[in-house]
Amino acid sequence: MTVTDNLFDNLRLELRRGCLTLAVLAQLREEHYGYTLRKALAERGMVIDESTLYPLLRRLETQGLLASQWREEDKRNKRFYRLNADGEQMLGQLLAEWNQTNAAIQNILDNQL
């Protein structure tokens, strides 16, 4: 791997970090357990490693943005997550920020063309 590839990977990782949280919060307006959430995100183009997604769910729950519940499904106990009221509010604020950032970058690019 060249230095440029390495740098790109690092910058890409930084860029994606916040977006992953936003994507997970948005997807969890519907209830999911870890694996189905990962599949749902991947189907929409947001591929996330298991080792990133599952700890992220725990952190978001600890931060009070998700509610979780152990429940049996297909003869197996699974932990289901869903956005709670605080999470809904946070998602709204983050989406507004996301849209503003997106518009600003688009504006900068448009002005340079």
Interface residue list for other proteins (CB under 8 A): 33-36, 38, 49-52, 54-55, 58, 76-79
What one-letter code names the amino acid at 22? Answer: L
Nearest to 18 by CA among 95, 109, 107, 106: 95
CA 88 to chain centre: 14
Q: Which is nearer to other proteins, 4 or 51 (CB)?
A: 51
Which residue do the tokens 């699974």 mark? 78
Determine contact, residues 40/112, Cβ cutoff 8 Å.
Answer: no
- Nearest approach in angstroms of CB 67 to other proteins is 15
Note the Cα 17 to chain centre separation in Å: 8
Measured from the CB atom, the residue of 52 and 84 that comes closer to other proteins is 52
Instruction: Give me the least distance between CB of 15 and other proteins, in Å please.
Output: 19
Nearer Cβ to other proteins, position 54 or 98? 54
DSSP structural state of residue 78: E
Least Å distance, CB 64 to other proteins, is 16
Residue whose CB is less far from other proteins, 17 or 88: 17
> Rounded to the nearest whole angstrom, what is the least distance from the CB of residue 52 to other proteins in the complex?
7
